[in-house]
Structure 1
Amino acid sequence: MKRAFLGVADGLSLLLGIAAQVMLLVLIASMLYEVVARYVFGAPTLWAFDVAYMSTGTLFVLGAARCLRLDAHVRIDFLSQRLPARVRGAIDGTVYLFLLCPTFGWLAYVAGTRALRAYLTGEVETVSPWAPLMWPFYTALTVGLGALALQLAAEGIRAFLAPRADDTFKLEA
């Protein structure tokens, strides 16, 4: 059961990490198009700003779970590095499972509620001349926050079961 949960969390974070990479390509392509349209053809787009902030927000939140799995988030550990591995594991596990996981789970719930309301009401971006629908963006935020909460639970379990022996930065495929 534990292994299946960890596999699901890791698989979802990998999949969403790939989606974040695709969103980066969307961001780059839309900005290149906007620059060419604006400066070469003198015809700026109505949608470039909205695509930029939505794709940036989406790529960050979708990539957060994968970043956690790879232990690539910034960690300030000048105190914890002096503690034994088991104590560090207990601290990490406690913080991940009992503080961060519920917090990000709650944020995912709030984002999901907002996404549903935006879908039901047909909410659009009100400060944009393009006025895109907002529920796809809110849904992406919900998925990313939910995946981060799931990965926090998985990493909390890992921290309790097999604490890191050292604090060297290692990427795994």
Structure 2
Amino acid sequence: MSTQDNDQQEHTPKNPLDRALKWLGDVASLLFVLTVLISFYEVMMRYVFNSPTIWVHETASFLGGMLFVLGGSYALATNRHVRVVLLYDSVSEHTRKILNLFHHVMGMVFAALMIYASYHMVQASWFSPLGGIHLESSGSAWDPDFPAYTKLFILIIFIVMFVQFLLHLIQEIIELRSDR
């Protein structure tokens, strides 16, 4: 098998959730084009027509933020997350599987802690102290509810990432047992 084929296989999603997240990430990446287009629109309105908008900056920031958050789950789904390649590539295949187990367990711990923290952020940004729904807004002249939506999206993505890490851990354990 060539290096390119091996690299392609290594980055192929291995379960239905990863495949769905890869598809979602590929489709959502088109929002970068929208972000560029509305930013270009703002530049034209501001500097050519001397008529700046009040919505472009916050919308572009919101879209970019959502794509950035989704990127973590996408990277995990396509096995393109950050690792110390110098160490990882210099060990045996069996040791790599052990390192993968450690990575998935630590990823689950990290995701669980982030779920806990982001749940409290969502609670504070979606509910008033008396318990009624009141979405946190940006406080700008336009004042959209983007901060509340962003915090909810972060919570959802960390829940998804926890499940991803769990599925990857199970798959790695199965592969490790089958190697014996």
The TM-score with structure 1 as length reference comes to 0.76
Aligned to 2:156: 143
Map 1:114-153; keep pairs closer than 5 Å: 114-119=121-126, 120-126=133-139, 128-133=140-145, 134-153=147-166
Q: Tell me the SS of whatever aligns to 2:82.
A: coil
Report what 2:36 is aligned to.
28
Match of 2:169 among 156, 160, 165: 156
Matched residue, 1:112: 119
Pair 1:82 & 2:95 matched: no
CA 1:107–1:11 in 2, change beyond 3 Å: closer, same or farther?
Answer: same
Query: Which whole-Å deviations, capped at 9, do the CAs of 1:65-117 have from their partners, x for residues lacking one?
Result: 12222122232221232221111111111221x21112123213422332243
Distance in 2 (alpha carbons) for counterparts of 1:86 and 1:74: 20
Cα distance in 1 for partners of 2:153, 2:163 equals 15
Q: Does 1:70 align with 2:82?
A: no
Written as runs of structure 1 = structure 2, the 5 A alignment for 1:4-83 is: 7-18=15-26, 20-83=28-91
Long gaps (5+) in structure 2: 1-13, 127-132
Q: Tell me which of the two structures has the higher relative contact order, counting C-alpha pairs closer than 8 angstroms and 6 or more residues apart.
A: 1
Does the 8 A contact of 1:37 with 1:45 survive in 2? yes
Task: Write the letter of the residue equivalent to 2:107.
Answer: L
Q: Does 1:93 align with 2:105?
A: no
Decide whether the 8 Å contact of 2:111 with 2:158 is kept in 1.
yes
Paired residue secondary structure (1:132): coil
Determine the C-alpha separation between the residues in 1 that align with 2:83 and 2:39.
32
Provide the TM-score with structure 2 as the length reference: 0.73
- Cα–Cα, structure 1 residues 20 and 113, in superposed 2: closer, same or farther, change >3 Å? farther
Gaps of 5+ in 1: 1-5, 164-173
Across the aligned residues of Structure 1 and Structure 2, the Cα RMSD in angstroms comes to 2.3
C-alpha deviation, 1:57, in angstroms: 1.3
Q: In the alignment, what sits opposite 1:167?
A: none
The answer for the alignment partner of 1:3 in structure 2 is none
Q: Residue type of the partner of 1:117?
A: A
